[in-house]
Amino acid sequence: MFSGGEITAQLRVALDARGGLLKQALKGLIGVVFVAMLLEVFLFNINFFLTMGYEEVDLADELQLPVDDDGCYRLSEIDHRIEFPDLDMSVHNIHVDFAGWQPAQVITLQIRYTDDAHLTYFYTTDYTYGPPDIDVSTAVSESEYIHVSAAGNVGALSIEIVDEDVSYPVRLVGLSINAPEPFYFNWLRFFVVVVALAVGWMFRPTSRIYKISMVDEPRFTKCAIIAAVVVEVAIVASFLFMGSNLVGVASKNYNYGAWDRESIVNVFEAGGDNAQQYAMLAAAFAKGQLYLDEEPPEWLQQMEDPYDKGARDEALKLGGEDYLFDAAYYDGHYYVYFGVVPALLFYLPFYLATGQNFPTAIGVLMAMIAFMLGCTALLDRFARYHFRRVSLGVYLLLQIPLIMCSGALYLVKFPTFYSLPIMCALAFSVWGLYLWMRGRASERPEGWYALGSLCMALVVGCRPQFLVLSAIAFPLFWRKYITKRRLLTPEGAREFACLIVPYVIVAAGIMWYNWARFGSVTDFGANYNLTVHDMPKRGLALGRIAPALFAFFLQPPTVDGTFPYILPAAFDTTFVGQTVREVTFGGILVCLPVLWILPFARPILHQRIEQRATKTVAGVTMVLIGAGLTTSLLDAEMAGILQRYYADFSFMFLAAAVLLAFIANENMREDSGLERLFRRGLPVLVGFSVLYIVLLCFVPESGWYASVYDWAYQDIVESFQFWT
């Protein structure tokens, strides 16, 4: 976007011009750090102050457990219950001190006790809730302090390991009650609070950031936007690398168990056998073939209908040899039905250069960064060239949810080959739209148009659903080439050809690829997928649409009182047929308040249309809303209800909401009551939207960090559930 020298020059000018603002920002940052320090010391360490007066009672001498040579007590699969029948004392907390040197794991403890209100152990009933099971990580000392709220003195106390997946023996250093908790300064929590407070302070209603015009002060605003994107990229990359089990790269200090002990960095297979399909396809391409090398089992080749999941499961029991799940099976060979562009873009060049499999997560990260940069550039283009009153504050406030709430962050949570084609389609789409926009303002638009159309066409080889975004070409180019008849001029015909030819070339390549594999130019291979349902016989059914649209848009989130507070949403349907569904977490119109501007689209667009001779922005907004509805309907009917599919259409609605917000902001009188309400309300709506997405990304799910490294995830839980 800018060269290093240009950025340096612009930054120097911006610093001179905005010295007062930067001084204010520095003062604000100091204040934010000070408040975060107070919160970390006094609020997040409240248990340190509440327990500092406790007199600890050591119960180790009363433990009836075997003792190892190192002095640790040993809990075994047979002997894993500790009971003190006659304690008879006040108990405020229990310190279960597991040996830190043993293999890290999460141990679920069942705590039971009697007190002045209960002569026997009490449990959860239909009308009361007893002591819950407690997760304790042997690697997280904060989790080893368990708070107890007893009625008077505790008579009997029982502590039992109830997790069936515990790896025995478990070593216990000691056990005590009423133990003063040590002081923990959690640097991760401190950094998160600093960032949250800094963002809140920056976007407060009286912030001077709302006075900085994108149009009038281009140098300063460009530098500020670049700085914001750098921070966003760093946060996203850190989140992706946190889920190391899915990343597929190893070094001496990262994923050490998969490190080859020779290379500085090496790659390894992550995600299971079926997750290597793109890598297998690259190896096949290198050999000049379109099908995968892996041979389908004989029993699969003998099946009359191999796409029937139930029949396939029964045949597997008899045949024994496993098959490649979620691959396309056709005429005795496995094929990859996922879009071919990611394989050509990442896997094949990497395989030809190194002979190894490209790590999918790195591809997801690269596509995510491209998406973030493209979103930022596209939004910048609209803000500077189609609106006069967009401030830096309003721009950044809308850029954040446009990126973070689009579903892309959830794809980063699971950076698998399922996520990569969707992420690539998002990246190609935003860059295609940006290049088209640049071409519209250029005296020689041919190159911009050709590159933009190439990006828009390549989405067919990633995620075909995103092709609906190409309809934005109508409001962008209709007036210029149709209404004004520029298409009939030699220059216009040449420009229009640059818009169309890339589609023709990409379509020809995709159609040849389909025909060479399946004998049909329109057959992408989805019907031959060995998945959970019989794709060739799925058919169309209107009954699938209503449950899917409810889940996609209107399903309220399910929440509880424990971190990360969001649970899988309930699902039920009256559709008497097969519904493909994985866990989802609520509809976007309910969970993303920033979209609540969409019901007011009609009056806002009407106002814009009355004010402008051209209808470009209004047309783009309407197409975005229509494209989002179309894509969600396609997913509902042809694919299913999966959380990652939200990324197919969320960006379209968010982009429409951003443009509507720009239009509304354009028509507010400065310092009016409506503008003040806008400044106060928009940060709140954005804040809750981003908070929902962030919490969603920390929900424990199968295969993610929380299940693979549950002992480390417990550290995150303790950090943000500090009062337990």
Residue 492's alpha-carbon distances to 435, 446, 488, in angstroms, are 18, 10, 7
Identify the residue whose tokens are 């148009």: 449
Topology of domain 56-177, CATH: Jelly Rolls (2.60.120)
Q: With 70 as the cut, is the pLDDT of residue 208 above it?
A: yes
Q: With 90 as the cut, is the pLDDT of residue 54 above it?
A: yes
| Cα torsion through 506, 434, 419, 239, rounded to 10 | 150
Please answer whether residues 336 and 278 qualify as being in contact, where contact means their C-beta atoms are separated by less than 8 angstroms: yes
Q: With 90 as the cut, is the pLDDT of residue 629 above it?
A: yes
What pLDDT is attached to residue 541?
80
671-708 pLDDT tens trace: 777 878 888 999 999 999 999 999 999 999 999 999 99
Assign 173 to helix, strand or coil: strand
What pLDDT is attached to residue 543?
84
- Give dist(CA 10, CA 393) in Å, integer: 19
Which of the residue ranges 413-417, 538-542, 635-639 would you say has the lowest mean pLDDT? 538-542
Which of the residue ranges 6-10, 616-620, 700-704 would you say has the lowest mean pLDDT? 6-10
CA–chain centroid gap for 270, Å, is 18
- What mean pLDDT comes out for the span 569-579? 87
- Give dist(CA 60, CA 436) in Å, integer: 72
Give me 597's structure tokens: 């501007």
Please answer whether residues 431 and 372 qualify as being in contact, where contact means their C-beta atoms are separated by less than 8 angstroms: no
Please answer whether residues 693 and 631 qualify as being in contact, where contact means their C-beta atoms are separated by less than 8 angstroms: no
What pLDDT is attached to residue 13?
52
455-482 pLDDT tens trace: 999 999 999 999 999 999 999 999 999 9
Give me 520's structure tokens: 């049909």
Q: With 90 as the cut, is the pLDDT of residue 119 above it?
A: yes
Burial of 27 (0-12, 13-18, 19+ CB in 10 A): exposed
What pLDDT is attached to residue 225?
97
CATH 2.60.120 location in the chain: 56-177
648-666 pLDDT tens trace: 999 999 999 999 999 999 9
- Give dist(CA 220, CA 61) in Å, integer: 68
What pLDDT is attached to residue 333?
96
Beta-carbon-side half-sphere exposure of residue 693 (alpha carbons within 13 Å): 29
What pLDDT is attached to residue 677?
86
134-186 pLDDT tens trace: 999 999 999 999 999 999 999 999 999 998 889 999 999 999 999 999 999 99
Neighbours of 232 (CB within 10 A): 18
Neighbours of 715 (CB within 10 A): 17
Q: What is the DSSP letter of 328?
A: E
Cβ neighbours of residue 675 under 8 Å, at least 6 residues apart?
665, 668, 669
Please answer whether residues 309 and 387 qualify as being in contact, where contact means their C-beta atoms are separated by less than 8 angstroms: no
Q: With 90 as the cut, is the pLDDT of residue 5 above it?
A: no
Please answer whether residues 431 and 715 qualify as being in contact, where contact means their C-beta atoms are separated by less than 8 angstroms: no
DSSP 360-402: HHHHHHHHHHHHHHHHHHHHHHHHHHS-S--BHHHHHHHHHHH
Please answer whether residues 154 and 118 qualify as being in contact, where contact means their C-beta atoms are separated by less than 8 angstroms: no
Please answer whether residues 625 and 649 qualify as being in contact, where contact means their C-beta atoms are separated by less than 8 angstroms: no
What pLDDT is attached to residue 380?
96
Beta-carbon-side half-sphere exposure of residue 265 (alpha carbons within 13 Å): 7
What pLDDT is attached to residue 673?
77
Assign 347 to helix, strand or coil: helix
325-355 pLDDT tens trace: 999 999 999 999 999 999 999 999 999 999 9
What pLDDT is attached to residue 12?
57
What pLDDT is attached to residue 41?
97
Burial of 80 (0-12, 13-18, 19+ CB in 10 A): buried
What pLDDT is attached to residue 464?
94
261-292 pLDDT tens trace: 989 999 999 887 778 999 999 999 999 999 99
What's the chain's average pLDDT?
Answer: 92
Q: What is the value of pTM for the model shown?
A: 0.93
Q: With 50 as the cut, is the pLDDT of residue 17 above it?
A: no
